Amino acid sequence: MVPGMPPPTAADPALAGFPARAPATRRWCFADQLGPHFLDAPDQPVLLVESRAVFARRRFHRQKAHLLLSALRHRAAELGDQAQFHRVRTYGEALDRVREPLSVCAPTTWASRDHVLGRPGLQVLAARGFVSSQEEFAAWAAGRGRRRLLMEDFYRDARRRHDVLMDGAEPVGGRWNLDADNREPPPADGRSPAPEPWWPEEDEIDEQVRADLDRWAADGDVAFVGDDGPRLFPVTRREALRRLADFLDTRLGTFGPHEDAMLAGQRWMAHSLLSPALNLGLLDPMAVVHAAEQRYRDSVADGDPLPLNSVEGFVRQVMGWRDYIWHVYWHLGRDFRHANALAAHEPVPGWLADLDDGAVDAACLSDVLADLRRDGWVHHIPRLMVLGNYALQRGIDPLAMTDWFHRSFVDGYDWVMVANVVGMSQHADGGVLATKPYAAGGAYIDRMSDYCGGCRYDPRRRLGEDACPYTAGYWAFLDRNRDRLAVNHRMRQPLRGLDRLTDLPEVVEQERLRGTEAP
């Protein structure tokens, strides 16, 4: 049990134990369940539903909407007569047309699970698309003496259970965690450590998706944010496997050391770009992990081993963090999204909601917003230490930021963003997931990027016209939350630093006046 956050019980129907298979039924596959591992047999009949109402509920990134529709329509084309494909306003309209038994793998969000559980005669099966089952996580979480749901403990348990990067009972190389080797600043020459990734090519289905989205927007049915195309991420299993192979061939070996680094104009670095394909269900994460491990073991056998810190760092992302975020989404319950331990209530400012990088002078924030506007994606450090750090410092409402991340990223889903934003990025849970807030001043961004050299703001200054909004914002954040953070032993040293700032009142007033105006 997590202190201060008791988990829900199985009395909640959305957490009930679901059977594993129902092979005699037509399988309804959501748009994030598009891989073959969501079927019980290769020839199982399938139901696919394209609901326009989904896109009318929120102002999604244009490329997110394109990706989802393209993936769904490509899957329907692949299956041919094996699938019924309904393009309707709501899911209910399609389900009312089906006159045969239906089954569905448990969906990935509270709302969608409630929906399927409320449909009479629809058989709900255990969730798929993750390394560990919900039963396995529950057993681990209830383990003897467990006081905190530490991702590191869960990750080690999963590696043991699945025998990944293990030499008998011990981790390969003798260390479980090689993160310390993966925190190098960006290359001094400003170049990416890896070659350009492989990119998919659009086809006639993408052309039709683009035309439909244009028409829906012109009719006023939907509204989008961000730029249109070209499509950068896989929408078929064939494309997803091609991207995986490209990563293993050209990027895995250089992934680790600079995985936390940021470079202007080098937005991909050595990242895999696999999260959208994984979250669409095009790839089985366990198969991805096995492929990376096999590539490592083959390289060792060939006498030219891949760097273990790169391989372990990638495996940690897929079977560690991704699975952990999925499971705590359910384990911490429906109300976790409403946590607001730091009493942050500012609305998302218009320039951020609109991805208006042109309104922003701060080089790091402007560049990251431009990447997000153009691609619908940035890697985990811009998300956490530029976008999330800004919102944390400015006291933007964590639930509103969760929704913004969900809508703005092509790999964003409710289960992805609730724990990542509420728990990790905004520290709104008071320390259930992360032991300290991910707040940092301009010195961190200066060390881990090349943004600050050409910026109008000085990361060393906290007061005045050239004061870095992150440096000044950091001290104002600590001052505003001094009492709330005083019980956190990891924050004692930063909080003591407040008392050494002779200009703290002026900094706090400066940041109060600045508010959430575009920095």
CA pseudo-torsion sign 274, 275, 281, 283: positive
- Give the CATH number of domain 134-200+235-326: 1.25.40.80
Q: Cα separation of 429 and 320, whole Å? A: 21
Q: Which positions ≥6 away from 88 have C-beta within 8 Å?
A: 49, 50, 51, 52, 94
The residues that bridge with 51 in the sheet, in sequence order, are 88
Query: How do strand 170-171 and strand 166-167 relate by DSSP bridges?
Result: antiparallel
Retrieve residue 290's tokens. Answer: 């096995």
How do residues 354-378 score in pLDDT, each as one tens digit?
999 999 999 999 999 999 999 999 9
430-469 residue pLDDT tens: 999 888 999 999 999 999 999 999 899 999 999 999 999 9
Mean pLDDT of 394-414: 97
For residue range 27-67, what is the model confidence (pLDDT) as tens digits? 999 999 999 999 999 999 999 999 988 888 889 999 999 99
Beta bridge partners of 278: none
Domain boundaries, the chain: 18-125, 134-200+235-326, 337-514
pLDDT of residue 4: 46
Residue 51 CB-half CA count within 13 A: 16
How far is Cα 164 from Cα 290, in angstroms, rounded to an integer?
A: 8
Q: How many CB atoms lie within 10 A of CB 147?
A: 8
Q: What does pLDDT average to over the chain? A: 94
Secondary structure (DSSP) of 11-67: TSGGGS---S--TTSEEE--TT--SGGGSSSTT--EEEEEETHHHHSS--BHHHHHH
User: Which pTM was predicted?
Assistant: 0.95
Phi and psi at 15, nearest 5°, equal: -110, 10
Q: Which amino acid is at 183?
A: R
Structure letter (DSSP) for residue 2: B
Nearest in space to 310 (alpha carbons), one of 160, 434, 492, 181: 181
Selecting from 3.30.540.10, 1.10.579.10, 3.90.1150.10, 1.10.760.10, what CATH number does the domain 337-514 have? 1.10.579.10
Distance of CA 319 to CAs 18, 129, 316, 353, Å?
22, 11, 6, 32
Contacts of 166 (CB under 8 A, 6+ apart): 159, 160, 172
What pLDDT is recorded for position 90? Answer: 87
Do the beta carbons of residue 155 and residue 171 sit within 8 Å?
no
pLDDT band of 1, cuts 50, 70, 90: very low
| Token duo for residue 88 | 């309707």
Q: For residue 10, what pLDDT is reported? A: 61
**What CATH architecture applies to the domain 18-125?**
3-Layer(aba) Sandwich (3.40)
Distance, CA of 169 to CA of 16 (rounded, Å): 33
Percent of the chain with pLDDT over 70: 98
Which uninterrupted H or E stretch holds 87? strand 83-88
Q: Categorize the per-residue pLDDT at 8 as very low, low, confident or very high, splitting at 50, 70 and 90.
A: low
Q: What is the mean pLDDT of residues 498-506?
A: 92
**What is the pLDDT confidence band of residue 199, given thresholds at 50, 70 and 90?**
very high
Give residue 6's pLDDT.
53
Q: Is residue 504 very low, low, confident or very high in pLDDT (cuts 50, 70, 90)? A: very high
Segment 99-155, tens digit of pLDDT: 899 999 999 999 999 999 999 989 999 999 999 999 999 999 888 777 788 999 999
> Under 8 Å CB-to-CB from 135, ≥6 apart: which residues?
17
Tokens encoding 352: 């951020």
Residue 2: the pLDDT is 41
Find the mean pLDDT for residues 14-37.
Answer: 92
